[in-house]
Amino acid sequence: MQTTFAVKNYDLAATLASGQAFRWRSIDDVWEGIVAGRWVRLHQQHDSILAETVLAGSGWQWLLHYLQLDVDLAAVLDAFPKDAPMMAAAEACRGLRLLRQDPWECLASFICSSNKQIVQIQQIVELLCQRFGEPVEVPPGRELAFAFPTIASIAEVSESDLRACKMGFRAPYVLGTAQMIGRGELDLEKLRDLPLAQARAELLKFPGVGRKIADCVLLFAYGFPTAFPVDVWVMKALRELYFPRRRVKLKRLHHFSETHFGPHAGYAQQYLFHYMRTRKRAATK
DNA sequence: AACCAGGACACAA
DNA sequence: TTGTGTCATGGT
């Protein structure tokens, strides 16, 4: 079962590899991943994305939503501040998008992300899925693939089971979070209806979740447009591009992020993040 | 071979 | 409140 989506100003490769989701693998610009429990293969050709999956009859809404194909990117970019750093980032990251992910997968993945490189996060998440995820249907002859583990399936494993997935000191955090949700202490679906600050306060109750990881989940899963995760890269971007040769504290950077980047600050953050990472990579080669 | 990674946390001052 | 050491693992 396959279809084609017309897209404009969409860079699929940059989007899937920009550190928001960790389960995509590519071979020759063909991307394979699991979305909403479904195996998917994506391939971009100019102004279209070819999508292929195995389950018939369930439509494509789940994928449209995940890829956020209805977002008017021109309107988003137009809301960016017209300063030199932001214009440079927008120019360098044409077509970069924000995905809309499942809250639990996003939360658990980013708990595993703390003080880890993206390649290592990918490895941890993959091990987690192979060990505790349900197998999903794949095309004939293809190697097995697994869904992201459910909250309940993680809540009942042991800490050492999780440490076997190479997540180290993050294991009790993932376990504790799954157990809190499993006990009903906190409902991830309820967060959708809350204002940003309240939703963030709820996420901060989970072990291993601080301001940065909370903002990642708020932006990448719940779609709060002004959530602005400040990691080491974004901090570097803000300091170098907006506060050169000044020692600016994180607290002030948060205030700056809330007042300077407008109604789509979260998108601006992703552009700065990707801009810094790709710029450095180009400079060192 | 040191240094660092899409940080969070306990503890000190 | 703000600053510092620690945590587990592996890439660069």
Closest nucleotide to A204 by C1' from CA: B8
Average pLDDT of the residues in A182-196: 98
Any strand B atom closer than 7 Å to A201 CB = no
Q: Do domains A72-93+223-285 and A103-220 have the same CATH topology?
A: no
CB atoms within 10 A of CB A26: 15
Average pLDDT of the residues in A183-191: 98
pLDDT at A203: 98
List pLDDT tens digits, range A19-58: 999 999 999 999 999 999 999 999 999 999 999 999 877 8
Closest nucleotide to A120 by C1' from CA: C10
Domain ranges for chain A, please list them: 2-70, 72-93+223-285, 103-220
What is the rounded CA–CA span in Å between residue A270 and residue A142? 33
Architecture of domain A2-70: 2-Layer Sandwich (3.30)
pLDDT at A260: 98
Give yes or no for residue A171 having a pLDDT over 70. Answer: yes
CB atoms within 10 A of CB A70: 7
pLDDT at A281: 65
Q: How many residues does chain A have?
A: 285
Catalytic residue among A212, A236, A249, A251: A212
pLDDT at A285: 37
Task: Look at residues A147, A61, A67 and name the one whose alpha carbon lies nearest to residue A108.
Answer: A147
Highest CATH level, class, for A72-93+223-285: mainly alpha
List pLDDT tens digits, range A234-280: 999 999 999 999 999 999 999 999 999 999 999 999 999 999 999 86
List pLDDT tens digits, range A74-98: 999 999 999 999 999 999 999 999 9
- Against a cut of 0.85, is the pTM above it? yes
CATH assignment, A103-220: 1.10.340.30
List pLDDT tens digits, range A103-136: 999 999 999 999 999 999 999 999 999 999 999 9
pLDDT at A180: 98
pLDDT band with cut points at 50, 70 and 90 for residue A284? very low
pLDDT band with cut points at 50, 70 and 90 for residue A282? low
Does A236 participate in catalysis according to the annotation? no
CA of A22, C1' of C6: distance in angstroms: 27
Distances (CA, A) of A25 to A131, A196, A247: 18, 32, 39
pLDDT at A279: 87
Place of tokens 């080669």: A285
Closest nucleotide to A249 by C1' from CA: C2
Tell which strand B nucleotides have any atom below 7 Å from a protein Cβ.
Answer: 4-9
Tell which strand C nucleotides have any atom below 7 Å from a protein Cβ.
Answer: 2-3, 7-12
